[in-house]
Amino acid sequence: MKKLFTSICIGSFCAFIAFNANAQNNSNNNQTTIASPKPGATGGATADPSQANTGLYNVPIYKRPLTVSASLGTNGIGVSARLGLSPHWRLSLGYNYTPINYTTTFSISSLQTSMDINIHLNNIHLFGEWRPFTSTAFRLVGGIAYFMDSKMNINVTPTNNYYYGLIPLTPATIGKLYANLDYSGIAPYFGFGIFKGQPAPGKFAVNMDFGTYVLSSPRSTITGTNLFADPQVDTKQLDKNIAGWRWLPIVQVNVSYRIKMGSSKSK
């Protein structure tokens, strides 16, 4: 078991894997002390003594509990596959796509504008899940994602006339301003999950994740037309200011289905 985890170690994720190996040992050491199942137990913080069934994990990797999930949340829609490695550890691989279109208003001096924010984030991710309390479905989640072609485009369009002296400058005359933030790159993730993440074979379960990605520092470019053409923005300062705009908070609902390979329930 320990040998397998070491072989899939990636970057900062290694720490989780190493800890996983120890946790697995601890779990094994303590397995005889776990109480018997309680009738009617469900997910969340409810205890499930089936966690102690280490027999699920004493089989080749391809026979261990495998769950597929569809998700919906602040990072858009996604799919993932989760593999149970031990009563404490799971590994998931997934893809998320975030299409966000948002319009708000913004004013520059007396100029009113409409600001269209268009966010497209694509990522593939590899997470490890650690269940510190085998008596509950609570889990800590950490891992890494690669964001591809992930950008935030902001289009600023004037909505009213702006007066230059006595001359009303129409929105068409003023032009448009385009800001582009590029978040592509590698992003660590950390968070936690609640409710049953690994249902019984052939069953569905609903669970939730809360956490955040730490995106790459965005790189900004600003262009414009007409009076906004060639805006000489101090982009270094802008990049510095938005360097903290790296946190992508996640609240996500997952619907999981356990593929029939194992035979026992788990969380």
Q: Is 244 in the site for another protein (CB under 8 A)?
A: yes
Rounded to whole angstroms, how far apart are CA atoms 83 and 256?
12
Q: Is 102 in the site for another protein (CB under 8 A)?
A: no
Using the rule CB under 8 A, which residue among 200, 208, 238, 255 binds another protein? 238
Using the rule CB under 8 A, which residue among 101, 241, 263, 264 binds another protein? 241
Using the rule CB under 8 A, which residue among 46, 50, 159, 173 binds another protein? 173
27 Rama class: left (phi>0) / alpha (psi -120 to 50) / beta:
alpha
How far CA 4 is from CA of 9, 119, 216, in Å, comes to 9, 38, 30
Q: Is 167 in the site for another protein (CB under 8 A)?
A: yes
Q: What x/- string results for residues 205 through 234 when contact with another protein is judged by CB under 8 A?
A: -----xxx--------------xxxxxxxx
How far CA 109 is from CA of 54, 104, 113, 174, in Å, comes to 66, 16, 10, 14
Q: Is 144 in the site for another protein (CB under 8 A)?
A: no
Q: How far is the CB of 263 from another protein (least distance, A)?
A: 29
What is the Cα 19 distance to its own chain's centre? 22
Instruction: Say which amino acid occupies 172.
Output: A
HEC string for 168-183: EECHHHHCCEEEEEEC
Q: Is 183 in the site for another protein (CB under 8 A)?
A: no
Q: Which positions from 24 through 43 interact with another protein, judged by CB under 8 A?
A: 26
Using the rule CB under 8 A, which residue among 6, 55, 164, 259 binds another protein? 164
Q: Is 242 in the site for another protein (CB under 8 A)?
A: yes
**Cβ neighbours for 53, distance < 8 A, ≥ 6 positions apart:** 87, 264, 266
Element (H, E) at 77: strand 76-84
Q: Which is nearer to another protein, 148 or 167 (CB)?
A: 167
Rounded to whole angstroms, how far apart are CA atoms 3 and 129?
18
Q: What x/- string results for residues 248 through 267 when contact with another protein is judged by CB under 8 A?
A: -x------------------
Which span (75-83, 95-103, 143-151, 235-243) binds another protein, by CB under 8 A? 235-243
Q: Is 15 in the site for another protein (CB under 8 A)?
A: no
- DSSP string computed for 23-43: HHHHHHHHGGGPPPPPTT--S
Element (H, E) at 122: strand 111-130
Rounded to whole angstroms, how far apart are CA atoms 156 and 228?
10
DSSP 240: H
Which span (44-52, 112-120, 121-129, 158-166) binds another protein, by CB under 8 A? 158-166
Q: How far is the CB of 100 from another protein (least distance, A)?
A: 17
Q: Which residues bind another protein (CB under 8 A)?
A: 26, 109, 132-133, 138, 140, 163-170, 173, 190-192, 210-212, 227-234, 237-238, 240-245, 247, 249
